[in-house]
Amino acid sequence: MITPKTARLRASDSIDFEVEQLPDGWMIEPPAIGTWDAENRRYTAPDQIAEQSEVTLIVKAADGAEIDRAAITLTPPPPRAKVDTRECRADFKTAAVV
């Protein structure tokens, strides 16, 4: 059994997974997205995420059979607000202090 079953990460975030019993193998699908540290059971998202995608961490038995899996959603950064400073105006009023 692996926990957590799901995770949501942004660029360069990491998450540690727990297992009840150490498996004989791990597999990341697709394999080229992010990095997996099997010794520490830590997945690290890639440095840049252009669009939302999902990575699956699969726990394997010695015979190659799947024991469990976890879904990792990779989330891009929120869009940056575009401000046209040519249209910004400040309106200041003075007041007398008594």
Segment 14-53, tens digit of pLDDT: 999 998 888 889 999 998 899 999 999 999 999 999 999 9
pLDDT of residue 29: 96
The three state secondary structure string of 69-84 is EEEEEECCCCCCCCCC
Q: Kindly list the structural domains of the chain, giving each domain's residue range(s) and its CATH number in brackets, ordered by start.
A: 2-79 (2.60.40.1380)
pLDDT of residue 79: 84
For residue 91, the SS3 value is coil
Strand-pairing partners, residue 70, are: 57
pLDDT of residue 97: 66
CA angle 29, 8, 61 (to 5 degrees): 40
The number of angstroms, rounded, from the C-alpha of 5 to the middle of its chain's C-alpha atoms is: 14
Whole-angstrom CA distances from 21 to 7, 68, 73, 75, 88 are 20, 11, 24, 30, 60
pLDDT tens sequence across 53-74: 999 999 998 898 999 999 999 9
| pTM metric for this prediction | 0.77
pLDDT of 92 over the 80 cut: no
